[in-house]
Amino acid sequence: MKSTLARLIDDFQERELPALTRREQKFANLPGKANVVIGMRRTGKTFFCYQEITDLLAAGIARDRIFYLNFEDDHRLGFKVSDYLVVGGFPEVQSTPRYLATEILQSYIDAVLLKDVVERHRVGNITVLKYMIHSICHATGCKLSINKFYNTLKSMSIKCTKNNLYEYLDHLVDAGLFYRVPIHSRSEKARIVNPAKSIPLTPACCRP
């Protein structure tokens, strides 16, 4: 393990940082606090860290004082706003032919489903998970009623409890695949009673 870490550290110290597209967001500089970058897979978190490293070097911080360790491969960022609705904002698919982009995006969803939901939370009912993802992606912007979804599954003879469905949706949101938009109301009761809309991270995930 020590030799592997030493090799990875040496590799970072010796190689040049990749070219990147700068983002407006910056790390907060709070003494004694650590910054954490979270988000769905392949959204550019690694290159956001590269941007911070570039800024630190420009500010005069010695490179040997910066420790960078990445366990996954790198992907270049080349965002085109005009293609956002077609291929989304994932860096890897920006320069990929559109007929392949759908397959790549599907592989992202499969990776999130397997690694960030099934394995992390030990979910065994993959059929229900896939059906939930399919339902949300093909009804994006609509309210997801767990009760109605449960009844739909029941009519299809698919076994699952309502509590499981609530947990599965929480897992998918926690993994970054979807985010919730509650009803716009000043009433706390109205926000609690009315189901929130579940929105995919990128509209490209909704394409057939």
DSSP code per residue over 50-106: HHHHHHHHHTT--GGG-----SS--------GGGHHHHTT-GGGGGS-HHHHHHHHH
Q: Say whether both 34 and 101 belong to one domain.
A: no
pTM above 0.85, yes or no: no
Least confident of 7-21, 25-39, 71-85, 100-114: 71-85
Q: Say whether both 100 and 191 belong to one domain.
A: yes
Q: Say whether both 180 and 101 belong to one domain.
A: yes
In a domain, 81, yes or no: no
Pick the residue with more confidence: 31 or 130? 130
Domain extent at residue 165 = 96-206
- Does residue 82 carry a pLDDT above 60? no
In a domain, 83, yes or no: no
Q: Say whether both 186 and 105 belong to one domain.
A: yes
Domain holding 144: CATH number? 1.10.10
User: Are 132 and 169 in contact, with CB atoms under 8 Å apart?
Assistant: yes
Tell how far CA 157 is from the center of its chain. Answer: 31
Token duo for residue 89: 């904002």
Q: Say whether both 154 and 197 belong to one domain.
A: yes
- Mean pLDDT, all residues of the chain: 81
Rounded CA separation 170/8 (Å): 35
Q: Say whether both 113 and 200 belong to one domain.
A: yes
Q: Say whether both 120 and 201 belong to one domain.
A: yes
Query: What is the 3-state composition of the chain as percent helix, strand, coil, each rounded to the nearest 5?
Result: 55, 5, 40
Q: Say whether both 33 and 113 belong to one domain.
A: no
Confidence of residue 102 (pLDDT cuts 50, 70, 90): confident
Q: Say whether both 102 and 191 belong to one domain.
A: yes
